[in-house]
Amino acid sequence: MDMRDRLTLALKDAMKSKEADRLSTLRLINAAIKDKDIALRGTADEEGGVSDADVLGILGRMVKQRQESARAYEEGGRLELAEKELSEIKVIEDFLPRQLSPEEAEQAVEAAIADAGAENIRDMGKVMAVLKAKYTGRMDFGKAGPMVKARLG
């Protein structure tokens, strides 16, 4: 079952069980995917619409946005808004694959360096491309970048 089918099924279940918060978050996810569909219209990638990898990327960005918002709300003393953001993160993470542990991320970086044949910092783009191809949605690339840089630098 692809990501869109899983999301549609979850949306229907949330409607039936009258879970308003979950339903709201699922609708936000669907809206983000439709925005990406619209952005792809008229391009060569249009044929299948948004791929599962694209959906994972969208979900990853949504989680990161909500983490930043929750942090800002907590710093501003708006705990009820921070709690709402954190509950949305839980719903979104239901559709993301399990995140790599720090040890697994280090192993993935080592393997990607070997796969790309990287020897110095100029090869960092190749290594990141390998990581993104294999671990989209499972790895925080903001943390992976410095790890790659440390290995190659």
Give the per-residue pLDDT at 91.
Answer: 94
Q: Supply the CATH number for residue 122's domain.
A: 1.10.10.410
Tell me how far CA of residue 103 lies from CA of 28, 36, 90, 106, 121, in angstroms.
33, 33, 23, 5, 22
**What's the number of domains the chain is made of?**
2
Q: 78 is in which domain, residue-wise? A: 3-93
Pair (76, 111) in one structural domain: no
Q: Which residues of the chain have pLDDT under 50?
A: none
Pair (12, 87) in one structural domain: yes
Pair (69, 128) in one structural domain: no
Query: pTM of the prediction?
Result: 0.73
Which DSSP letter does residue 47 get?
A: G
Give the per-residue pLDDT at 18.
Answer: 93
Give the per-residue pLDDT at 90.
Answer: 93
pLDDT in tens, 63-102: 989 999 999 999 999 999 999 999 999 999 889 888 888 8
